[in-house]
Amino acid sequence: MAQGLPILVVEDDANLLEAVCDTLELAGQKVLSASGGEAALNLLSAQSVALVVSDVRMMPMDGIALLKEIRSRFPHLPVVLMTAYADVDRAVEAMRSGACDFLLKPFEPKALLEHVARYRLPEEMDDDRVVAKDPVSRNLFALAMRVAQTDTTVLLTGESGVGKEVVARYIHNHSVRRTGPFVAINCAAIPDSLLEATLFGYEKGAFTGAQQAQAGKFEQAQNGTLLLDEVTEMPLGLQAKLLRVLQEREVERVGGKKPVVLDIRIIATSNRDMADAVTKGILREDVYYRLNVFPLLIPALRQRPEDIVPLAQHFLAEHGGRSGRTGLRLSPLAEQALSVHAWPGNVRELENVMQRAVIFASGECVEPDALHLSVLPAVKVSTPASATVVSMAMPSLESEGQKKDNLRDLEREHILETLEAVGGSRKLAGERLGMSDRTLRYKLKQYRDTGHLLE
What CATH number belongs to 302-338+345-371? Answer: 1.10.8.60
Residue 348, pLDDT > 50, answer yes
What CATH number belongs to 7-119? Answer: 3.40.50.2300
pLDDT tens digits, residue range 235-265?
998 999 999 999 999 988 888 788 889 999 9
Residue 291, pLDDT > 90, answer yes
pLDDT tens digits, residue range 261-279?
999 999 999 999 898 999 9
Q: Phi-psi region for residue 205, left (φ > 0), alpha (ψ -120 to 50) or beta? A: left
Confidence of residue 284 (pLDDT cuts 50, 70, 90): very high
Q: Three-class SS of residue 135?
A: helix
Q: At the fourth CATH level, which superfamily is domain 135-299?
A: P-loop containing nucleotide triphosphate hydrolases (3.40.50.300)
For the segment 190-196, the average pLDDT, to the nearest whole number, is 85
H helices of 371-436, where? 400-421, 426-433
Q: What is 175-193 written as a DSSP string?
A: STTTTS-EEEEETTTS-HH
| CB neighbour class for 189 (10 Å; exposed up to 12, middle 13-18, buried from 19) | exposed
Taking the C-alpha atoms of residue 236 and residue 283, their distance in angstroms, rounded to an integer, is 7
In sequence order, what are the beta bridge partners of 229? 186
Q: Could you tell me if 94 and 56 are in contact, meaning their C-beta atoms sit under 8 angstroms apart?
A: yes
pLDDT at 243: 93
CA angle 302, 66, 289 (to 5 degrees): 70
The yes-or-no answer to whether 135-299 and 302-338+345-371 have a common fold is: no
In sequence order, what are the beta bridge partners of 31? 7
Confidence of residue 38 (pLDDT cuts 50, 70, 90): very high
Q: What is the mean pLDDT of the chain?
A: 83
pLDDT tens digits, residue range 315-337?
999 999 988 888 899 999 999 99
pLDDT tens digits, residue range 388-405?
222 223 333 344 444 445
Confidence of residue 307 (pLDDT cuts 50, 70, 90): very high
Phi and psi at residue 360, in whole multiples of 5°? -90, -20
pLDDT at 30: 92
pLDDT at 77: 81
pLDDT at 403: 44
- The domain limits of the chain are 7-119, 135-299, 302-338+345-371, 377-455
Structural domain 377-455, CATH architecture: Orthogonal Bundle (1.10)
